[in-house]
Amino acid sequence: MENISRAHVLAEALPYIRQFAGKTIVIKYGGHAMVDEFLKKQFVLDIILMKYVGIRPVIVHGGGPQISQIMERMGIRSTFVEGQRVTDEETMNVVEMVLVGTVNKEIVGLLNRNGGRAVGLSGRDGDLIRAERMKIYRYSGDERPPEIIDIGRVGKVAEVNADVLLALEDAGFVPVIAPVGVGPEGAAYNINADLVAGAVAGELAAEKLILLTDVPGVMRAASDTGEADGRDSKSQVQKKAEEGDLELIHSMTAGDVRAAIDAGTAFGGMIPKLKACLKALNSGTVKAHIIDGRREHAILLELFTDSGVGTEIITD
C-alpha cells in the first residue's frame, strides 16, 4: 500500500514537472526554515530535486535575526523605523559581513555538500543589484509637507543585471543571492530580501516567485468581521489561526492585494511580501506564492501537488 501511495505522488507530480522543466523559479528563503536544522536540510533537498528535474531555481535569502544577534554581541543597538533597520556605516558593515560572509556561504555550502552546484552572490558582484537610497516619509496629517526620515544605507532595487544570473543558470548553477545592493558611488545598501526576490523574479520573467514565511499564507478573519486586524503582530496572527479565528486565503488577484494594502488590512512583514509579488507579476512573472516555510518540503508541495499550499497571487 505504501508503494502504491508513492506511485500516486509521482503520477500527480509528473504534469507539473513537465510544465516547469526549463523554467526559472525564484525562491525567497527566510524565516524559521533558515534556522531550524531539519528544515534547512529539507529546503536544500527540495532545491536539488528541482534542479534534477530540469527546473532553474534562483534563491534570494534573508538574515535579519542573524544580523540582530551579531549586533547584540557587538554591543550595537538595532533601531527600526516602519519595519526598516536604520543602517549607518557601522551597521552596514555588520549587515554585509553576516549576509554575504556567513549566511550566503552557509547556504551555498549546504547545497554543494548535498549534490547541488551553487554559487553565492551579493548585489556587488557584476553589479547584480543596483540600488538607490530608500526614503521614508512621515505625514503629520495637516497641510505641512511630509517629514523625510533618514534611515541611512537602506536601499530599494533600481535595476537587476539579469545577464549575471542567466549565465550561471545556463552553466547549470543555482544562484544564491544576498540582498545587498550597490549604489551609484559604489556604496553597499541593505535591501529587504522580499523586494529583491520580487525584482529578480520580474527581471527574469520567472514562472513563479515563492516566498517562504512563518505563517500559513495571507490570512483573513474567519467570521464576517472582515480582514485580520491591522494591529496584529505576526505571532498574534499565528495564534488566531491556531485558534480558528483566521483562515487562509488560498488565491488572490493583484487587485485584491492592492486593495488589502490600501485598506490597511495587510500589515507588518506581509506588506513587503505582497509588494514583491506585485512587482514580479507586473514585470512578467506568471504566479507568486506566499507559503509556510515551517512545513516539511513546503516548496515541493506547492510545485508538484494539485492542491498546493499557502496563498497564490495571480494577475487580474
CATH code, domain with 287: 3.40.1160.10
What's phi and psi for 147, nearest 5 deg? -80, 130
- Tell me if 11 is assigned to some domain: no
- Tell me if 211 is assigned to some domain: yes
For position 135, what pLDDT does the model report?
A: 83
For position 227, what pLDDT does the model report?
A: 42
- pLDDT tens readout for residues 83-110: 788 888 999 999 999 999 999 999 999 9
Q: How many domains does the chain have?
A: 1
Count of beta carbons in the 10 Å neighbourhood of residue 152: 20
In terms of Cα–Cα distance, which of 47, 58, 50, 60 is closest to 20? 50
- Tell me if 1 is assigned to some domain: no
For position 151, what pLDDT does the model report?
A: 86
What's phi and psi for 248, nearest 5 deg? -75, 135
Cα–Cα distance for residue pair 255/156, rounded to 1 Å:
23
Domain that holds residue 33: 22-304
- Tell me if 315 is assigned to some domain: no
Angstrom CA distances, 247 to 170, 229, 256, stand at 41, 13, 16
For position 263, what pLDDT does the model report?
A: 77
The low-confidence residues of the chain, meaning pLDDT below 70, are 1-5, 140-142, 221-244
- pLDDT tens readout for residues 104-138: 999 999 999 999 999 999 999 999 999 999 888 77
DSSP SS3 for 57: strand
The residues, any chain, with a CB within 8 Å of residue 135's CB and separated by 6 or more, are: 148, 149
Q: Under a CB-based contact definition with an 8 Å cutoff, are residues 176 and 108 in contact? A: yes
Q: Under a CB-based contact definition with an 8 Å cutoff, are residues 269 and 234 in contact? A: yes
Residue type (1 letter), 197:
A
- Tell me if 58 is assigned to some domain: yes
Per DSSP, which regions of 134-259 are E strands? Answer: 136-138, 147-149, 155-160, 174-178, 180-182, 188-190, 208-213, 219-221, 246-248, 251-253
